Amino acid sequence: MKVKIDLDMSAEEARTLMGLPDLEPMQQRLLEQLEKQVSSNMSYMDPEAMIRAVLPAGAQGLEKFQDLMWGMARSAMGSGGTKSGGGTKKGD
């Protein structure tokens, strides 16, 4: 036997139904405070340093991801000319 109940309600109504607290006022205060801090410190901060703080890997992460994708593509194509693929039959 299956019982299916569909409830058509908004996220706020579901939160109230489950008895969860309303965090929106707190989130708004935190966002306003963060915006004030960022705007006041913007003149002291180098934009490049700010990007590095947000994206620590930066371009290096992208390059590593590209290397990983190229390595997987080479393996899928069966190319034996890779640096690590040449020594498989040496122990035979």
- Would you state the pLDDT for residue 26? 93
Separation CA 21–CA 62 (nearest Å): 40
Tell me whether residue 22 is in a domain: yes
Higher pLDDT, 67 or 51: 67
Q: pLDDT category, 59, cuts 50, 70, 90?
A: low
Tell me whether residue 88 is in a domain: no
- Would you state the pLDDT for residue 80? 52
Tell me whether residue 56 is in a domain: yes
Q: Tell me which residue range forms the domain holding 29.
A: 11-73
Task: Tell me the per-residue pLDDT of 4-50, one tens digit each, with 9 for 90 and over.
Answer: 989 899 988 999 988 999 999 999 999 999 888 877 777 777 777 76
Reported as type and span, the H/E element at residue 77 is helix 58-77
Indicate whether 3 pLDDT > 90.
yes
- Would you state the pLDDT for residue 46? 74
Domain count, the chain: 1
Tell me whether residue 29 is in a domain: yes
Tell me whether residue 87 is in a domain: no
Tell me whether residue 83 is in a domain: no
The two structure tokens encoding residue 16: 């109230």
Tell me whether residue 86 is in a domain: no
